[in-house]
A and B are shown apart, each in its own frame.
Chain A
Amino acid sequence: MQTIQYAGQPIQINDEGFLTDSSQWTPEIAEEIARETGVGPLNERHWAVLTFCREDAAQQGTPPGLRRISKLAGVQMKELYTLFPKGPGKLAARIAGLPKPKSCI
C-alpha cells in the first residue's frame, strides 16, 4: 500500500493502483487515473460505465464483472473494449475507485 497525490489529495492505493478506500474517490481522481492508464479524457460513455460500476458496487458489495456491466449499463461488450482498450475488466473498476473485480466474466 502507498499514498499518492491525486487531484491535490493524498490517496491510498494498493500495489496494483486500485484505491483502498473507495470513499476517497472523486470524479477528478477518475480523470487523473484515466490519463495515467492511457484511457485519456473521459467522455459520457465512459461515465455511463463508471457511474454504473459505482452504483452497482454500492448495492452488491462487490464491483461488477464485464458481462454484468454490458447487460445492465446499456454498453455493449465491444464498446467496453473500445472505451477501455487496455483491459476494461480492471480499468473500469480502477478508474471508478473500486477494488479489482472478482468476476472472470
Chain B
Amino acid sequence: MTTTTLERPDTHATAAPQTKAPQPIEHVSIICSKSTLDMAYPGLILANAARMSGIDATLFFTFWGLDIITENKIDELHVATVGNPSMPIPTMVGGLPGMESIASRKMKKDLEKLDIPPVREMIEILHDSGAKIYACQMAMDMFGLGREDLVPQVDGVLSAMDFYDKSAGAQLLFI
C-alpha cells in the first residue's frame, strides 16, 4: 500500500515580499455626488492637488454633484444649514429664512482668504491643469439635462461603466 501526502501550497513563497516600497499614486478618480459647498470643494481641491503633484485626475459628477458643473447652478452653490451635523447652530435656527445665504457668504469669504477661488474658477483651473471632467449620463437623464446645460470645461458625458474604463489603474474616491 502506498501513501500519498498532499502538499499544501506554500503561500508564503508566492506572497509579495513585506519590504516592498509603497508605490506612489499615479491616478486618482473622484466621484462627486453632492453639491453643497462643504461637499463640492473637497473633491475639486483634492483633484487640483493631484495635478499639482503630477498625478492624473479624473472627476465624475453624478446626482446632486452635477450642480457643480451645471451652467445655471455653478455660481449658486451654498452651504446646507439644515441636516448638516457639522453646523454649529441648532437645526431649527438653520431653517430660518436667510440662514443658508449667511452661512454660504461666510464660507465663501473664508475660502477667498485662503486663496481658494469660486467653484467656476476651480473648474477652469482643473480643466487647464489637464484633469478630466465627466458628467454622469444617468443623472443627466434623471434631471432632464443636456450637454448644452453644462459648463464648457466638461470633457464628456459617461455611463458608470465608461467611467470605470476611464479610471483604469486609478485610486477611487467617493464624495
Give A residues with C-beta under 8 Å from B: 65-68, 76-78, 81, 85-91, 103-105
B115 at the interface (CB under 8 A from A): yes
Describe A's contact surface by its main secondary structure: helix
> What 17 additional pairs, Cβ within 8 angstroms, besides A65-B52, A87-B52, A87-B53?
A65-B115, A67-B117, A67-B125, A77-B124, A81-B51, A81-B129, A85-B54, A86-B54, A87-B55, A88-B52, A89-B49, A89-B53, A90-B52, A104-B52, A105-B45, A105-B48, A105-B117
Chain B contacts with A in 55-95, Cβ cutoff 8 A: 55
Contact among B53, B115, B130 for A105, CB-based, below 8 A: B115
Q: Give the most central of A78, A86, A91: most B CB within 10 Å.
A: A78
For the side of the interface on B, what is the size category? 10 to 19
B116 at the interface (CB under 8 A from A): yes
Q: Which residues from chain A contact B51 at a C-beta distance below 8 Å?
A: 81, 87, 89
B122-146 CB mask vs A (1 if < 8 Å, else 0) is 0011001110000000000000000
Chain B contacts with A in 94-137, Cβ cutoff 8 A: 114-117, 124-125, 128-130
How many angstroms from the CA of A87 to the CA of B130 in the assembled complex?
Answer: 11
How many angstroms from the CA of A7 to the CA of B124 in the assembled complex?
Answer: 39
Give min CB distance, A71 to chain B, whole Å. 9
Contact among B48, B53, B115, B130 for A68, CB-based, below 8 A: B115
How many angstroms from the CA of A105 to the CA of B112 in the assembled complex?
Answer: 11
Q: Which residues from chain B contact A67 at a C-beta distance below 8 Å?
A: 115, 117, 125
